[in-house]
Amino acid sequence: MSDPRGVYVVSSNSGMDRSRRKPMGNTVDGTRNWSTVPCACCADCSSCCRGCCCIPCMLCDIAERLGEWMCFPFCVPCGGNVLRTRLRTLGGIRGTACDDCMTMCCCCACAVWQMDKELDEMGIP
């Protein structure tokens, strides 16, 4: 059975082959990798120091560069993760929301630096 949006709703007893189901929601498969790795932040001393000392400032800048309100990262739960996922999908970068969350949790400073560099690579001022 399908709903008006074209998304199949399958109950466990429907007998529909699960391999033929359409994914729910808007799935975006990236076509490229990140242009830098998170741990490469040590190569650029000025932005590395800024990323380590003032993560909130960089997140505010990234939010504005992505067209969001400057305080978005702090007014939305897991705002940094949301911004990373948005940047990844806008840039056509491979990955998942879970990858974004783990990267932000394991090394937030490096992840924020990587996001800043990716915006530079994409030409977003």
Q: Which residue has the higher pLDDT, 18 or 103?
A: 103
| Alpha-carbon distances of 12 from 9, 16, 17, 81, 83, rounded to whole Å | 10, 9, 10, 32, 35
pLDDT of 58-114, one tens digit each?
Answer: 999 999 999 998 888 888 888 899 999 999 999 999 999 999 999 999 988 889 989
**Which class for 13: exposed (0-12), middle (13-18), buried (19 or more C-beta within 10 A)?**
exposed
Is pTM beyond 0.75 here? no
Please indicate, yes or no, if residue 102 is contained in any of the structural domains. yes
DSSP state of 22: P
Please indicate, yes or no, if residue 55 is contained in any of the structural domains. yes
Please indicate, yes or no, if residue 1 is contained in any of the structural domains. no
Please indicate, yes or no, if residue 88 is contained in any of the structural domains. yes
Segments forming the whole domain that contains residue 98: 30-121
Q: State how many domains the chain has.
A: 1
**What do you get for the CA distance between the two ends of the chain, in Å?**
46
**Tokens 């940094």 appear where?**
80
